[in-house]
Amino acid sequence: MASLLDAAVAVGLDTFTLADVAVHVGVGESTIYNYVPGRDVLYAKAAAAVFDRLDIDADADTWTDYIDVVAQRAVDLAARHPGLREYVFSGPYEPTTVATFEALIARVRRWLPDLTEHAAFVVTSRPILLGLTYLGDPVLEPVTPWLRRALLHGLATALTNGDVPPTPPTSWRSKLRSTD
């Protein structure tokens, strides 16, 4: 399976076909179906394997600096791997991706122990998604770091003022585990 994932990444997350992957690993296309039922599953697994490379360890004095660093790393990773952005936006997410968000949430909650898990998910995930939104846009990509820092500043101000997002009836985990 690892060689199939590597091949999908090498060919390109955004463009690979099962035939391309088969050629890359030197097997018949039908052999791939012994490991995955189709391209969508191979894409999710390969994109998750790339997302797993996101370095979420960073020395930072504040949670906003920490998330800013991780968000920029996510942008850099997605820039090197076209097609990763779509995975981060839409999934379907592999368990390792959920685990990465759990680790980010835990780290932010060390700075903000009274923050609910849901609110911590919001303040960790939205700056990352904002960073990825304008990737490749020649007009807006250059201002994205500023937009991300502005968002983080606004989130920090809101939290300091006691303005916390309401907790919805379903967990953020159910959203990440959905295939919608």
pLDDT of residue 1: 83
- Is pLDDT at 180 greater than 70 in this prediction? no
Please give the average per-residue pLDDT across 148-174, as a whole number.
Answer: 93
Q: How much of the chain, in percent, has pLDDT values that exceed 90?
A: 89
Contacts of 169 (CB under 8 A, 6+ apart): none
**Where in the sequence of the chain do the CATH 1.10.10 domains occur?**
2-48
pLDDT (average), residues 12-37: 95
Q: Which residues of 117-148 are buried (b: 16+ CB within 10 A; e: fewer)?
A: bbbbbbbbbbbbebbbbbbeeeeeeeebeeeb
Beta-carbon-side half-sphere exposure of residue 3 (alpha carbons within 13 Å): 9
pLDDT at residue 171, rounded to an integer: 87
Q: What values do phi and psi take at 54, rounded to 5?
A: -60, 120
User: Structure tokens of 105?
Assistant: 């949430």
**pLDDT tens column, 70-111:** 999 999 999 999 999 999 999 889 999 999 999 999 999 999
Task: Select from 135, 145, 58, 149 the least CA-distant residue to 104.
Answer: 58
Topology of domain 2-48, CATH: Arc Repressor Mutant, subunit A (1.10.10)
Kindly state the DSSP code that residue 142 receives in the 8-state scheme.
G
- Average pLDDT of the segment spanning 28-53: 95
Mean pLDDT over each residue of the chain, to the nearest integer: 94
Q: Note the residue count of the chain.
A: 180
Please determine, for residue 9, whether its predicted confidence score (pLDDT) is greater than 80.
Answer: yes
CB 131 within 8 A of CB 71: yes
Query: 3-state secondary structure string, 65-109?
Result: HHHHHHHHHHHHHHHHCCCHHHHHHHCCCCHHHHHHHHHHHHHHH
Angle between helices 63-80 and 117-133 (to 10 degrees): 40
**Stretch 150-162: mean pLDDT:** 97
Among 59-68, 99-108, 171-180, the minimum mean pLDDT is found in 171-180
For the segment 121-144, what is each residue's pLDDT rounded down to a tens digit?
999 999 999 999 999 999 999 999
Q: Is the pTM of this model over 0.85?
A: yes
pLDDT at 175: 75
**What pLDDT shows up at residue 178?**
53
Task: Report residue 77 CA to chain centroid gap.
Answer: 10
What's the number of CA atoms in the CB half-sphere (13 Å) around residue 19?
A: 0
**Span of 126-130, 155-159, 167-171 with lowest mean pLDDT:** 167-171
Q: Specify the amino acid at residue 105.
A: I
